[in-house]
Amino acid sequence: PTDTALLEVTDLRAWYAESQALQGIGFRVNPGELVTLIGRNGAGKTTTLRSIMGIVKNRKGSIRFEGNELIGKRTYQIARQGIAYCPEERGIFASLSVRENLSLPPTLKSGGMSEDALFETFPNLRARASSRGTQLSGGEQQMLAIARILRNGCRFLLLDEPSEGLAPVVVKEIGAQIRRLKAQGYTILLVEQNLNFARSVADRHVVIEHGTVVDQLTNDELSADLNRVKTYLGV
């Protein structure tokens, strides 16, 4: 039922200059759910996250968060409603220490995690508190990137390919961290191309191809029939 969705995207279209990247995306995310957007390179997954966040401004259709329309809103207004976005490129300050990265910039919304709470959630980062961004491993950088967005009081996380470029053992660790965030009550929408990683964390999957949703399935449905999505991923 419509009234229980935390996020409801309907007929979302988006453009980069003259070029239409999204052709009418529709899906919903319920409170406490972890949903992935899967699909191959260029399908429109990142553009969907950037449209929700108002970074892609040329967008039409409807994006309702807790019933409020986000189309027409600016990125900082969307952040203040309680949505946090962790981009694929991670966005950490390479020349600053972990501790400095966790204090800048000022938060847009109160109620987020304190430095202590962040270090409790990501113990690896406490050990690296004085290390510069450049000195961190790929996995530590990803954890720092996620930790940074938790500084703002938010309940909905948009994560773009957290497993990207990481060794399998580190991917497992990030997966465990993300499941812990879900257990803490965060609702998560996650872009992934790594099917095994997606299966290890998600409740449900939304498959995107050529800027439209071509399939939606629960994690159990996916596990029962991997071939159902493999053609879309080109694997």
- Applying CB under 6 A, the residues found at the interface with ligand ATP are 16, 19, 21, 39, 41-47
Q: How far is the CB of 163 from ligand ATP (least distance, A)?
A: 12
113 C-beta neighbours (distance < 10 Å), count: 20
11 C-beta neighbours (distance < 10 Å), count: 12
Nearer to ligand ATP, 20 or 124 (CB): 20
- Cα 107 to Cα 153: distance, rounded to the nearest angstrom: 8
| DSSP, residue by residue, 105-171 | S--SSSS---HHHHHHH-HHHHHTTTSBGGGS-HHHHHHHHHHHHTTS--SEEEEE-TTTT--HHHH
Q: How far is the CB of 1 from ligand ATP (least distance, A)?
A: 29
Q: How far is the CB of 36 from ligand ATP (least distance, A)?
A: 12
Nearer to ligand ATP, 176 or 235 (CB): 235
Nearer to ligand ATP, 39 or 175 (CB): 39
Which tokens go with 125?
A: 């980062």
Q: How far is the CB of 75 from ligand ATP (least distance, A)?
A: 15
Q: Which residues pair with 12 in a beta bridge?
A: 25
Nearer to ligand ATP, 43 or 125 (CB): 43
